[in-house]
Structure 1
């Protein structure tokens, strides 16, 4: 799942929105230096990623992608599912996305991650432009595809092909999302209910 889904799952499970966002930026060895609630969010993020990548619906969906861009299918699905979540937000949350995003931005303003250039660059963009709501528009997905394509070290040309695929297969993608996402939310809740904080140096 991508940024918006992870933040929404944080809201749904009443865990740190920032922690759920940070899962893409923090390495395992850095967890012991973070507040417990943020660590819990990061571990939930990782749990959701494993659940998503191994879910039969997602595995099958990836196989529908053309062979030449299939290696990017997971990225494309994650980004497009953020758009679909924004389209159906009220079906999955009683809290308006503006309020959730505002809480997330406030948490982001009060946090820093020393020597993590990737996080600091993305955090600055988010704090300056507050662009998460733009995923209400499909064009934001297409812009994200192109941005990722331009950043890849091993050049993979996929943005235009990804755009064509999602436009031609929107019904399949939406059906898969509507089946998958409630299971994803339930999985997140079960993880938090059974969560046991890890033993770290701060607890010794």
Structure 2
């Protein structure tokens, strides 16, 4: 649920395009005909970004480094870690306010219905600058998954590998910006 990274990579588009990027994780399936064209384009853009980041050499390297028991869940945690580095290195209050406005004006897909108001009210996108908050958010996502909270179990590794995560972000983010240049 890396809202901030997707917002950064789609910020030059219309509000509908941005909205599609922000809610894409709540949209299932490939059939997007029921969505306005710019929202559908945003959903497709979000999925292209996810596919590119999941195949990036830095992400693959970090996944190999992750503890074996939590490796399957590490990609979820890394998504929020990228938002942490964006919020801490490149704070953009105007973009965050735009995201909150765009999300607040429309109804979120049912999978995100409860989370979006909490995100806006709690100002999560700016609070991701605090790594402790980001780790709590990662653990919170783990509470919504079945079984033991593997994401909470992963947070000590994230703290230990903070320098490696930051180095990966420094390599990864310019690549993503280049690939998804506005």
The answer as to 2:97 corresponding to 1:102 is: yes
Equivalences for residues 185-204 of structure 1 within 5 A: 185-189=177-181
How many residues get paired? Answer: 180
Question: Match for residue 67 of structure 2?
Answer: 66
The answer as to 2:169 corresponding to 1:177 is: yes
Deviation for aligned residue 1:20: 0.9
Question: Match for residue 27 of structure 1?
Answer: 28
**Secondary structure of the corresponding residue to residue 70 of structure 2:** helix
Deviation for aligned residue 1:156: 3.8
Compare 140-149 and 172-181 and name the one that shifted more.
140-149
Give the TM-score normalised by structure 2. 0.89
- For 1:33 and 1:133, locate their aligned partners in 2 and report how far apart those are by CA, in whole Å: 32
Question: Match for residue 87 of structure 2?
Answer: 86
Give the TM-score normalised by structure 1. 0.80
- For 2:114 and 2:87, locate their aligned partners in 1 and report how far apart those are by CA, in whole Å: 24
Q: Which consecutive residues of structure 2, in runs of 5 or more, have no partner in the other structure?
A: none
Structure 1, residues 39-78: CA drift from partner, whole Å, max 9, x if none? Answer: 1111110000000111222111110111111111101111
- For 2:103 and 2:79, locate their aligned partners in 1 and report how far apart those are by CA, in whole Å: 22
Question: Match for residue 44 of structure 2?
Answer: 43
**Secondary structure of the corresponding residue to residue 136 of structure 1:** coil
Deviation for aligned residue 1:29: 5.1
Question: Match for residue 53 of structure 1?
Answer: 54
Compare 58-67 and 162-171 and name the one that shifted more.
162-171
Which structure has the larger Rg? Answer: 1
- For 2:119 and 2:137, locate their aligned partners in 1 and report how far apart those are by CA, in whole Å: 14
Question: Match for residue 126 of structure 2?
Answer: 133
What is the CA RMSD across the aligned residues, in angstroms?
Answer: 1.9
Deviation for aligned residue 1:30: 5.4
Compare 116-125 and 131-140 and name the one that shifted more.
116-125
| Compared CA separation, residues 106 and 156, structure 1 to 2 (3 A) | closer
Q: Is the 8 A contact 2:21 2:42 kept in 1?
A: yes
Equivalences for residues 161-172 of structure 1 within 5 A: 161-172=153-164
Question: Match for residue 144 of structure 1?
Answer: 137
- For 1:29 and 1:169, locate their aligned partners in 2 and report how far apart those are by CA, in whole Å: 36
**Secondary structure of the corresponding residue to residue 23 of structure 1:** helix
The answer as to 2:118 corresponding to 1:154 is: no
